[in-house]
Chain A
Amino acid sequence: MKSCLIVDDSKVIRKVARHILETLQFQVAEAVDGEEALTMCANDNPDVILLDWNMPVMSGMEFLRAYRASPIQDGAKVIFCTTENGIAHIQAAIDAGADEYVMKPFDRETLENKLQIVGCL
């Protein structure tokens, strides 16, 4: 069973994403910001991280830079999942080490497609 960490400050998004991921047979964990996500990854690194951009305490971009620079990352895939839908943001995320990008709003099929593309399905 593959594992996914959802990092998003919105309870609704976490709930929706969890539901989709669980029907795709993922083991799911949740974090409310980048800082909590870093701690969780240090303990138990997931196969894939679904990452929001704008969050209090530590943003998705700050998390991604810290994560990719740390020894804990161990090949996990990172999929940004955000309302930041401009091409400059998308390019910046890829440059910082994101593997895929989902522009919100998303549906089950989009997420499923992206998980396939990064090789987690």
Chain B
Amino acid sequence: MSAHDTRMHKQLAELLRKHSGQQLMANRHWRVDMALKPILRRHSIPDLNMLGDLLAGDSDADLARECVEAMINNETCFYRDQANFALLTGPVLDSMWEKRSNTKRLRIWSAACSTGQEPYSLAMHFASNPEKWAGWNIHIHATDISTSALAQARNGRYSQFEIQRGLPVMLMLKHFDQHETEWQLKEPIRRAVTFAKHNLLDAAQGAGVYDLILCRNMLMYLCDDNRKQVLGNLATALTRDGMLMLGAAETVIGQTDRFAASQEFRGFYEQALSR
């Protein structure tokens, strides 16, 4: 790798960190190069070094945003980490049902929702259990930092490849319309989720709002300080007796004093003060 390449990757890493708090690991440099190629083509920029120079000026906010979104890992799928998701839709939601049976009101936040598979998996779960949740007021709010991921999420449209990842065929037949090689989520499920752009490093709107927060497979890309900050923001947004769900490979242990591992449900976390 030339000195020029190293300098360019440093610049890109700084850009990514500034906008999203994410770290660019050296072992992802090749992926970043691949991800940025379409941007070069789109804007007739001859090579990555020239792109680096353009970004260094800090004058083109749209180009910077485009590059950040291309560098961010958006990978997701329906019912991701099946066993953990089953714990969520089974025992964890059962306990939420008990806790909230007086108000019959449930507020859920899918933080870092990417292209929407995560919140829509939940919405399909509620739709599949109408008797249990009859009369409930359930709101699923989903946010992400990536404008392009959110656009797809709002549209609820998935490629043949995406639709097959994790989604049982029965749910696909029930909730999606086919448009040639793409599949579009039907209106009732789309309406069950609201989407908004939000950077998790920023304070959430409102305190003690959500009964359940999903923040999966996003913290792992952050440095310790940013992770602590995000977890603090999530703790503030969570109700006193709410639950936080992280990705299968993530933990809050040693990262923050705001959360403690749930004794009952593996991979779930509670406000530390409630213990």
Say if the beta carbon of B168 comes within 8 Å of chain A.
Answer: yes
A81 to chain B, nearest CB (A): 11
Q: Which of B23-31, B157-165, B192-200 is the contact stretch? A: B157-165
**Within the complex, what minimum Cβ distance (angstroms) separates B233 from chain A?**
32
Kindly state whether residue B103 has any CB partner on chain A within 8 Å: no
Tell me which of B77, B82, B173 contacts A91 (CB under 8 A).
B173
Q: Counting CB contacts under 8 A, is B2 at the interface?
A: no
Give the residues in chain A near B178, CB-CB below 8 Å: 86-87
Cβ–Cβ < 8 Å partners of A91 in chain B: 173
Interface size on B, residues (CB 8 A): 14
Contacting A113 at CB < 8 Å: which of B160, B166, B172, B173?
B166
B170 within 8 Å of A (CB atoms): yes
- Contact pick for B165, options A94, A101, A113, CB 8 Å: A113
B236 smallest CB distance to A (angstroms): 35
Output the least CB separation between A55 and chain B (Å): 21
Tell me, yes or no, whether A68 is within 8 Å of chain B by CB: no
Contact with B along A102-121 (1 / 0, CB 8 A): 11001101100110110000
Please measure, in the bound complex, the distance between the C-alpha atom of A94 and the C-alpha atom of B82, giving whole angstroms. Answer: 22
Contacts of B1 in A (CB 8 A): none
Interface residues of A (CB under 8 A from B): 85-87, 90-91, 94, 100-103, 106-107, 109-110, 113-114, 116-117
On B, residues with C-beta under 8 Å from A are 77, 82, 160-161, 164-166, 168-170, 172-173, 178, 181
